[in-house]
Amino acid sequence: METPSVCVDEQKGSIQKIQTLLAAKDDTSRFVGLALLKSVLDNDEDLRGNEEIVVTLWKSIPPKFVDRLIQTGARQKASRKDASDMLDLAVSVLHTFAVLLPEVAKANSRILDRIPQLVAGLLHCSNETAHLALETLVSLVSQPAGALVFIAVEDLSPLTEIAPSQPLVLDTLSHAWLNSMTDVTDKAKLRTTIDKIVGSLVSFFKGTDAVTLLDFLANLLPRLDPEILPPNPSWLSPLGKFIRTLATSRPTAASRAASTNLAAALLEAYPIQAPTLLFSDGDAIITNPDDKPFSYLFIHLLLIDLRASLPLLLEQLNSPAYPAISLRLTSAFNVVSHYTGYLLRSLDAPTSTPWILTSPDLLLKLRVSLSETMSLAIEFLRDRWDASVAGALGLHPSARDAEVTTFTAAPPRRPLTWESKEAQGGVVPEDPLVLAGVRALAVWLREDDNEMLRKEAAGLADMFVELFRGSGEPGRLDFRRAVLVALEGITVEWKGVEAFLKHGGWSVLADDLLAILQAQTKADTDDAEAARGVEVVRVLLPIVEAEDPGVREEWMDLVTRVAAWDVPAPEDRPVGVVEEFQVAVLQLVTALLVNTHAGMQKRSVHSTSAVLGIAGQLKKRIRDGGGDPGLKESLEDVLTTLGRLR
């Protein structure tokens, strides 16, 4: 048996021999040294784990020699028998060091400058060597320095040509583009490159099911900076055809997920072009009335998927499969939301022919299907929220937090598998599926006159209020706009108003309204915040007007705080949503003063005068800024009504 010292001596001897061969002047010796190096690294685990020796060996390899091996192997593969050996060895060695080198060394130009040769040699590699080359590229472009080198390569056609048979091509492109976004200096050039490469990929994937391409784009598009996203690419239409083909040809689980996810990504990235691409069927109904249009089939399939999946989803919160399932269902909800909006715009369009989506009987079937799906969504959201916040009914909190130790070698497990902080779905305010579900439900509640569904949704009032309250916290998703739309729907019914007020909805929305108003005192004219403020008023105003026999005394605090608002100086900009919000707040305050009892009106006389002063200043601002006539009329109503009260 050899002693450790003998093994170390042999290892040093092998390393010295390899370094001597690599330092030789003739390429034959270098080739032998490189082959010997590859063999040693493949068979010596101790050596592979020694970063210092690995770095030393890497520095012993002449970089230009590796480039020459790849070039010669690619150029002469068809004419020389040993050419493929050169190419295979060079790629294999680079792959090995891409795995073994520490991150600092992988960010060095000594290995990153090999990227162009790896790309150029791809078309001449065997399938196995091409796979190794792509794994190497993925490793190198997974850091910003490597990504910048990659996007500087002028000819990426070797990648696009083999993409249908080598899925790692898409991983390489994705990592390179996403990791170079923040550091690239010429964003316009990168945008042009992405547009060109995606167009080439679409061409090469024709004749295939394109599932891997759709997956790639569904993951890429939502993550691209708006500056880098191609504005009106020619490949949108072919992608729409891919989606239509997959969705209507007995889709598998993989193709259903890919088409759903990409449809949602396209609708978010291209809100003007994508809806027509996916939902408009042109003259299909007129020319062939017996066929169901694609828009109907697509939405119908998504609704079936949602109804089949939601009842079983809580059981899978701790399952590794949850992220993929959740992503698909999130996309399905988002597509349904976009479809509902597109349908409403289509019905309001001045000319009907170009907007025809489906026949009235199919629309009725879709309406029934949508209502059934939203009812299941309400059940899912209720259970999901209860699991996250309240736990199982009657179960002590300690039973949820503790771990159960088994008598086997398995690790401790949680007693409840439906919710925990470690669940794949995370907590509710951080789960995109919950946001997508609330958004889709909200749009349908507001637009569909379904009394029963609105009463069902009133049972979610506590969840809506808490999601709104927590949306400003770091790391949380912003539910506020979706919740406001939902509240607008459920507060049409008295049961919804009662639930909203019972769970503190008034104070939460009033505080948000005042926060938006105070931010404008600091000359912060955020249009998005002001637009949300208008929606808050849209929810609160009908509640105030319907309250009988008069508004609650605690609501009058809003009047006092608005009366103390320090109106900002006029800005040199056109009248817009900020002024619309300010007028809406004054309308809400006026409604509160009108619908309170006489005694409170007398006690609020100073506040009324202050609000009148604010209205007067705002009137001058709107008049000088050329505001909308409807806005002026609303403000005149405020001034007239408050004038009578004073």
Distance CA 525, CA 508 (A): 22
pLDDT at residue 395 tops 50? no
Q: Give the side-chain half-sphere CA count within 13 A for 387.
A: 24
Query: Are 115 and 94 a contacting pair, CB within 8 Å?
Result: no
Say which range, 172-176, 437-441, 469-473, has the weakest mean pLDDT. 469-473
What is residue 404's three-state secondary structure? strand
Distance CA 503, CA 483 (A): 14
Query: Are 388 and 428 a contacting pair, CB within 8 Å?
Result: yes
* pLDDT confidence of residue 80: 56
- Over range 495-500, report the average pLDDT: 96
* pLDDT confidence of residue 534: 96
Residues near 507 by Cβ (< 8 Å), separated by ≥ 6? Answer: 554
* pLDDT confidence of residue 130: 94
Q: Residue 227 is which amino acid?
A: E
Distance in Å from the first CA to the final CA of the chain: 106
What is residue 280's three-state secondary structure? coil
- 581 band by pLDDT with thresholds 50, 70 and 90: very high
pLDDT at residue 75 tops 80? no
Taking only the tens place, the pLDDT of each residue in 1-56 is 444 444 555 666 678 888 889 888 888 899 999 999 998 888 888 888 888 999 99
Lookup result for tokens 């997959």: 246
pLDDT at residue 344 tops 70? yes
Express the helix, strand and coil content of the chain in percent, nearest 5 each. Answer: 70, 0, 30
Answer with the residue of higher pLDDT: 133 or 78: 133
- Over range 374-391, report the average pLDDT: 88
* pLDDT confidence of residue 575: 82
Say which range, 239-253, 369-383, 389-403, 567-581, has the weakest mean pLDDT. 389-403
Q: Residue 300 is which amino acid?
A: H
Q: Residue 157 is which amino acid?
A: S
pLDDT at residue 286 tops 90? no
Distance CA 587, CA 580 (A): 11
Burial class (CB in 10 A: 0-12, 13-18, 19+), 201: buried
* pLDDT confidence of residue 351: 55
Taking only the tens place, the pLDDT of each residue in 47-74 is 888 889 999 999 999 999 999 998 887 7
Say which range, 85-99, 151-165, 347-361, 583-597, has the weakest mean pLDDT. 347-361
Whole-model pTM: value is 0.88
Taking only the tens place, the pLDDT of each residue in 442-458 is 999 998 989 999 999 99
Taking only the tens place, the pLDDT of each residue in 541-580 is 999 999 988 899 999 999 999 999 988 877 777 788 999 9
What is residue 82's three-state secondary structure? coil
Q: What is the largest CA-CA distance in the chain?
A: 107
pLDDT at residue 495 tops 50? yes
Burial class (CB in 10 A: 0-12, 13-18, 19+), 129: buried
Say which range, 46-55, 270-279, 352-361, 479-488, has the weakest mean pLDDT. 352-361
Structure tokens at 587: 């309308």
- Report how far apart, in Å, the C-alpha atoms of 348 and of each of 344, 355, 403, 628 are: 6, 10, 56, 22
Length of the chain: 646
* pLDDT confidence of residue 284: 44
CA angle 68, 69, 75 (to 5 degrees): 85
* Residue 99, beta-bridge partner list: none
Domain chopping of the chain, boundaries: 282-503, 512-646
Residues near 479 by Cβ (< 8 Å), separated by ≥ 6? Answer: 429, 435, 438, 467, 468, 471
pLDDT at residue 638 tops 80? yes
- Over range 213-224, report the average pLDDT: 96
- Report how far apart, in Å, the C-alpha atoms of 387 and of each of 321, 392, 400 are: 19, 6, 10
Structure tokens at 210: 């394109």
pLDDT at residue 354 tops 70? no
Q: Sign of the CA dihedral 151, 152, 157, 158?
A: negative
- What's the mean pLDDT when you consider all of the chain? 87
